[in-house]
Amino acid sequence: MAEPTLWTTIAQEIEKDISAQIFRSGTKLPSESEFAHRFGVNRHTVRKALAHLADKDLVWSKRGAGVFVTGVKSSYRLTQRVRFSETIRASGRHPSRDILGVSLQAASPDQARVLGLGDGALVHIFHGVSKIDGHPVALFQSAFDATKFPDLGTHLQEMRSVTQALKACGVDDYKRTSTEITAVVADPVQANHLRIKPGDPLLRTKSINSDLEGRPIERGLTFFTADKVQLVHNDDMSSN
């Protein structure tokens, strides 16, 4: 076997630090200059090591901002009671979300069909970015019947939680009744929110959540980054 080059040795050392969570998922790495000082090399050598780690999807760079840790792939279980925060906390990691907006708009044909709405019906749209350990892993959008839940938009803005907002509207529990999974590619807007490149693979889920009497109350659409999230299907999920 060929002797490892200096830059491959540096890449291996940085990868060990990532695996040991010295550099945690979503955090910014030290600068090229700091790494060059640490390893006693020039910045060009460090740049080659970081490029190698980027090829392995362990880090990603943003012009003018630096290099960030991508992190390990997370398993996300699709069960009847899918709750993002609970699922991620159960894996020992930290969930968070950035809310991009809560709005009132006309239902799309798909939303109207799933929620049993007529032409021109209005829905509350709740959308944002889900994160694990501070790193964006999914874009989500949820639609709810605005006539059935007139105050839901206000509760979503205040509580920033679908589960809590629905409870405030009298829905104490709900369950996932179907999920469709499709492989797609990221458009420029999605890529910007998820800190990936346009054309990178995404896993799109289209789901229906229903109350305990089986009445659909939410049409969900989520785009997961395929290199960071592994979707695991459980037997308690009903097929669509």
At 197 the pLDDT is: 86
Boundary-marking domain end, from 69, 93, 114: 69
CA 218 to chain centre: 19
- The pLDDT tens digits for 59-82 are 888 778 899 887 566 666 666 666
Is residue 62 a part of any domain in this protein?
A: yes
Q: What is the DSSP letter of 116?
A: T
- How many residues make up the chain in this entry? 240
Which ranges of the chain would DSSP assign to H, the alpha helix?
6-19, 32-39, 43-55, 84-90, 109-115, 152-159, 162-168, 188-194
Boundary-marking domain end, from 14, 39, 69: 69
User: Across 11-20, 21-30, 93-102, 213-222, which has the greatest mean pLDDT?
Assistant: 213-222
- Number of structural domains found in the chain: 2
**What domain range includes position 32?**
6-69
Q: Are 225 and 137 in contact (CB under 8 A)?
A: yes
Per cent of the chain over pLDDT 70 is 89
Per cent of the chain over pLDDT 90 is 60
Cα separation of 75 and 229, whole Å? 6
Q: State the amino acid at position 197 in one-letter form.
A: K
Is residue 61 a part of any domain in this protein?
A: yes
- The pLDDT tens digits for 188-200 are 999 999 988 899 9
Query: Are 191 and 154 found together in one domain?
Result: yes
Higher pLDDT, 42 or 235: 42
Query: Are 87 and 64 found together in one domain?
Result: no
Whether the predicted pLDDT of 179 surpasses 80:
yes
Mean pLDDT calculated for residue range 136-141: 93
At 73 the pLDDT is: 63
Helix axes 6-19, 43-55, angle to 10 degrees: 60
Is residue 199 a part of any domain in this protein?
A: yes
Boundary-marking domain end, from 69, 94, 123: 69
Query: Are 157 and 85 found together in one domain?
Result: yes
Pairing of strands 216-225, 201-211: antiparallel
Provide CB contacts within 8 A for 199, sequence distance 6+.
185, 186, 191
Query: Are 64 and 83 found together in one domain?
Result: no
Cα separation of 166 and 112, whole Å? 19
Cα separation of 48 and 151, whole Å? 54
Query: Are 22 and 86 found together in one domain?
Result: no
At 238 the pLDDT is: 43
Mean pLDDT calculated for residue range 134-139: 87
Whether the predicted pLDDT of 110 surpasses 80:
yes
Query: Are 198 and 121 found together in one domain?
Result: yes
**Side-chain-facing half-sphere of 187: CA atoms under 13 Å:** 4
Whether the predicted pLDDT of 237 surpasses 60:
no
